[in-house]
Amino acid sequence: MEYTMEELLPIVEKLTGKYTSFESSSITYETARMLMGAVLYCIEEFYNTGSTGLTVAEKLDASIAYQRGYDLVISKVYASKEIYEDILGTFNDFQCRNCKDTITKGLPQFFLKYDPKFNPQDHILTLDYPTVRPVHAFCGINVIYEYLCNIQTEWIFLNAFDTKRIELLLERIMTDYQNLFLDNISYSVLLSCLGCIIAEKPIAMLELQADDMETIAHYFKHDTVEKAELKIEMLLSKLFDNVYTERTALKDYFAPLSKDYAIRIVNGLNHHSLKGIFYITDTL
């Protein structure tokens, strides 16, 4: 919903007074831009998530839309904090420094420094540990909320595995993974699960040998990326249905990886490099 400058400026003026503690009406251009951004962010938040029941033709007064949006921002901050505390209850960094620093050091700084009143559009953090679902399309508290929902989902998946098995897999991917691994952990674990299913190896072991590559190659022999993707979708769907029976959201969350896995596997077959995709072990 669009508002004119005449409708928005009175809100910005009131916010300016609060920002300066009503001691001055003079602020820098950068501050004025920040405060206008704060107003627009809250209004957008209202129309994106809080305007259920309004018809297309209905348009609330800008100040009302702003206040309701601001209230939604505050609610989402509290919801994010609850999710974060839930994550910490079962969080395991698998000795990956990038993961640990982002989750246990970076996120607390967000809750300390986030300014929902004057700068709600700034999420402060770079979130160096990536999630399977990207969050770069969001800003402000929405980035943090979506990111934490993603982390919560991924750790439901990861916590089903023995810690040491995941660490051994990461070590095969990168010898000094503790300091150098910057990718998503669940992406690699799920790919290993896929290989174990095809090779009929115990999924919980997250371990494949060189002779398993022949079985995997045969399974995808002559497949196009599209056909391989369909096969992978079926296998992952069965995995989540059978292992995570009460976590139906997991299947939907990880479903987009089927195409990426298919591309990697088909390319690996074409270049005889499946071993590098599944990070095999020499242990028999």
Residue 235 has what pLDDT?
Answer: 97
C-alpha to C-alpha distance for 118 and 41, rounded to whole angstroms? 10
Q: Is the pLDDT of residue 282 over 70?
A: no
- Residue range 72-99: mean pLDDT, rounded: 97
Q: How confident is the model at residue 52 (pLDDT cuts 50, 70, 90)?
A: low
Q: Is residue 174 part of a domain?
A: no
- For the chain, what is the domain count? 2
Residue 104's Cα: distance from chain center in Å?
A: 16
179-197 per-position pLDDT tens digit: 999 999 999 999 999 999 9
Are residue 29 and residue 147 in the same domain, yes or no?
A: yes
Same domain, 11 and 152: yes
Are both 139 and 20 inside the same structural domain? yes
One domain, residues 139 and 219: no
44 and 102 part of one domain: yes
126 lies in which domain range?
Answer: 5-157
284, part of any domain: no
User: Does residue 122 lie within any of the structural domains?
Assistant: yes
Angstrom distances, CA of residue 119 to CA of 41, 146, 213, 224: 9, 19, 52, 49
Rg (alpha carbons) of the chain, rounded to whole number: 24
- Please give the Cα distance from 214 to 212 (Å, whole number): 5
Compare 248 and 82 and report the one with higher pLDDT: 82
Question: Residue 32 falls within a domain, yes or no?
Answer: yes
Distance CA 222, CA 214 (A): 14
Q: Do the domain assignments include residue 283?
A: no
| 148 and 26 within one domain | yes
If asked whether residues 25 and 62 sit together in one domain, one would say yes
Same domain, 138 and 199: no
Q: Is the same domain home to 147 and 22?
A: yes
Token couple for 247: 């976590």
The whole-number pLDDT of residue 284 equals 42
Please report whether residue 175 resides in a domain.
no
- 55 pLDDT above the threshold of 80: no
Is 196 found in the same domain as 142?
A: no
Whole-model pTM over 0.85: yes
Q: Do 69 and 13 have their domain in common? A: yes
Same structural domain for residues 43 and 147?
yes
Q: Are 233 and 215 in contact (CB under 8 A)?
A: no
